[in-house]
Chain A
Amino acid sequence: MRLHEFQAKSLLADYGLPCPKGAVAITAAEAESIARDLGVAPLAVKAQIHAGERGAAGGVRMAHGPAMVRSAAEALLGKKLVTAQTGEGGLTVRRVYVEAATSAVKQIYLALVVEPALGGFALLGAAQGGEEIERREREGRLVRERMTLSVGAEPDPAELDAFLAAIGLEGAAQAKAATLVAGLRRAFIELDASLIEINPLAVTADGDLFALDVKMTLDDNALFRHRDLASLRDEDDDDRVKLTSQRDQLNFVQLDGDIGLVSNGAGLGLATLDMVKAAGGRPANFMDIRTTATSLDIAHGFALLLDNPAIKTLLVNVHGGGMQSCDTIAEGLGVALRRSGRSLPVVVRLAGLNAEFARTRFKNFGCAVIEEPDMASAAQRAVTVAASGRA
């Protein structure tokens, strides 16, 4: 679950993260009144979207005084912001964060992140933070420091000091950063984070630290022990279908083609997607039925496809396993087709557990499916059928 900057800053304040004063607004008038209350200038007006590199895209505006804050907020709210990380469609700005601007002598990059390759989590840092880090990365001259962290043991103080010195934190700032890292590590563990990224961490002339931007994601699999955090979820435009499908024990990604894909298991789903592409077809989605899905969940998944008018053909590629058998998926499809009343060609490939039973289910539901014996022929057939439907 992705958090917004203002949510992350508020959560992490309890763990000692120093942030400039600020508040969030959903209207320009509200932004103006926050500016008045803060009573400082200049102020930064920052679009709250789940993506970085906002500055370069005009998503962070400097303003002197409440009137300028208002017009900056007006320029952002309700608009789509396209950054290097949002994809072409951009993300709609529904909130702005109004914050006291801070002048920094140094901008550091500091992050805590789960690193699967280590089987653990790590502290990452770089002396040149801010949006500079993206440019350096692209140019291949980014120097990134790394220090492995442990859930069970505090970081070694000498190792931490060396890490902080390597990213340009010395003297008073280093001591403050060491305390900050301890707090962030505790937050990471207690809140089940998968990412806490502070970029930049500003160092002021006095050696004070301020987090100017924070990106934070929480582990969806751990939300069961953080009921209080669930309300922080803010659905992006493109996440709605994904979230609905998660409730139905499906993994779903919308694409823009005309062949609706259904498979059991992410691996088989990805293989099916690759094969349809290789055969010259255009997948409308990626959908993986989790092992825990019931036939009703599966029917909801099929309904997502049947509701999409762009889809001309369904391709159902199932290898029934110990956890999800062919007939459950056949039943899901039968229910969804009956409910939607839509009739469109369905190419199926059934193998493994209960394939024969699935054929009976299709027959009983009155589903006229086109069956192919293997994955490649099924993918090819779906592409041919979709093309003839388009003509």
Chain B
Amino acid sequence: MAILLDKNTRVICQGITGWAGTHHVTQMMEYGTKVVGGVRPGKGGRSHLNLPVFDTVSAARDETGANASIIFVPPASAAAAMIEAIEAEIPLVVTVTERVPQLDMIRVREALAGSRTRLVGANSQGVLAPGVAKLGVMATGSERPGGVGIVSRSASLTSEVVAQVSDAGLGQSTTVGVGGDPIHGLSMRDCLELFFADPETEGVVLIGEIGGFEEQEAAEFIREAKPSKPIVALIVGAHAPAERRMGHAGALAIGGAAAASAKIAALEQAGVRIAPSAGLVGRTMADALAKTH
């Protein structure tokens, strides 16, 4: 069992007829994901990639029994697409679209509050459960089914860590990209909660970076939850130049060494093992798992 996805996840794609939708839906189906339809306003009734296309998410849900959606619509209409999926009560929504305006993401967060939807992203590479399903745009080939859960803000580092974990003789239960933008849906903390409850996940890798406070929030949750599973974290950006701040409020979101060390300190205090380098994440997790067994 993985988190978020299983063999019965039935996926629709919003923006299926565009280049990105067409390309990635094809790849997802090749991976074995059950894609059951697509949504493109104005093209309802047609078919694309041998899948039925609908005008609205609710029509697609009613006709196909979909319980997940992946969104590839352009930034200007991405928020409307997410809100439509939330209102149609789709349980899992992944948004790949980059550069969604911040206030649109705030509107989406307001729609999410109290809803039945879990939103991954925006600006996310998606969710991959090796051997089960892929709801995203990540390249596959180096992943293998196993017990390491990975939650990350970075798609490129996730690919890197997946390969390292496989090279260390381990595999992945699920990888989740929470999204590279400051305001997004599912948080690192939410993912940890799901991984702790998942019997197949034996350990978790958290890949964080400077900016924001999400890693600190995750550390706080780990301290409270006291998981028996080992957690390894990689925090990058200690040597990044600090952004020039403008005004007083800017001081609240500093970058650089201070931000990285604050995150590392919070995670260490919660009992998380910090990978000494971006090249040693897989090995650190293998050592940690060897000690707990």
Contacts and interface: CB of A to CB of B under 8 A. Distances in A.
B225 interface: no
Contacts of A222: 101-104
A321 interface: yes
Given A267-B155, A275-B277, A224 B76 contact: yes
B251 interface: yes
B86 to A, nearest CB: 13
Nearest to B280: A376
Q: Is the interface of A mostly helix, strand, loop or mixed?
A: mixed
A188 B75 CA distance: 19
A264 B240 CA distance: 16
B246 A321 contact: no
Given A151-B110, A221-B100, A375-B279, A352 B246 contact: no
Given A52-B246, A199-B248, A321-B138, A275 B103 contact: no
Contacts of B25: none
B101 A221 contact: yes
B136 interface: yes
A246 to B, nearest CB: 11
B214 to A, nearest CB: 8
A381 interface: no
Interface in B259-293: 277-280
B159 A352 contact: yes
Given A194-B102, A319-B160, A152 B249 contact: no
A278 B277 contact: yes
B24 interface: yes
A322 B248 contact: no
A28 B78 CA distance: 48
Interface string B223-267: 000000000001011111100111111111100000000000000
B183 interface: yes
Given A270-B237, A274-B239, A119 B109 contact: yes
Nearest to B157: A267
Nearest to A189: B103
Interface stretch (B62-70, B191-199, B205-213): B205-213
A113 B251 CA distance: 12
A86 interface: yes
A322 B139 contact: yes
Which of B141, B159, B207 is most buried by chain A, counting CB atoms within 10 A of its CB? B159
B137 interface: yes
B246 A267 contact: no
Interface residues of A, number: 72
A215 B105 CA distance: 23
A97 interface: no
A323 interface: yes
Interface string B165-190: 00000000000000010110000000
Contacts of A224: 75-76
Interface in B128-156: 136-139, 141-142, 152-156
B106 A120 contact: yes
Given A117-B217, A322-B138, A199 B159 contact: no
A274 B246 CA distance: 26
Nearest to B153: A267
Nearest to A276: B239
A273 B244 contact: no
B216 to A, nearest CB: 9
B251 A137 contact: yes
Nearest to A225: B76
B278 A263 contact: no
Interface in A81-109: 85-87, 109
A198 to B, nearest CB: 10
Contacts of B107: 151-152
Contacts of A232: none
Which of B27, B212, B240 is the most central at the interface, judged by chain A CB atoms within 10 Å of its CB?
B240
A111 interface: yes
A152 B160 contact: no
B163 A351 contact: yes
A200 to B, nearest CB: 11
Contacts of B17: none
B250 to A, nearest CB: 7
A152 B110 CA distance: 8
Nearest to B216: A117
Interface in A205-222: 215, 217, 219, 221-222
Contacts of B75: 221, 224
B248 A376 contact: no
Nearest to B251: A137
A192 B102 contact: yes
Interface of A: 2, 50-52, 85-87, 109, 111, 113-114, 116-117, 119-121, 124, 133-134, 137, 150-152, 188-189, 192, 194-195, 197, 199, 215, 217, 219, 221-222, 224-225, 238, 253, 255, 263-275, 277-278, 283, 286, 290-292, 319-323, 325, 351-353, 374-376
Interface of B: 24, 27, 75-76, 98-107, 109-110, 125, 136-139, 141-142, 152-160, 163, 180, 182-183, 207, 209-210, 212-214, 217, 234, 236-241, 244-253, 277-280
Closest 7 CB pairs between A and B? A267-B154, A265-B156, A222-B101, A268-B156, A271-B278, A116-B182, A267-B157
7 contacts: A114-B102, A120-B183, A274-B278, A321-B138, A323-B125, A325-B139, A375-B278
Given A120-B106, A224-B76, 15 more contacts: A50-B244, A85-B246, A116-B183, A117-B212, A120-B109, A133-B248, A151-B103, A264-B156, A266-B154, A266-B156, A266-B209, A292-B98, A322-B136, A323-B155, A352-B139
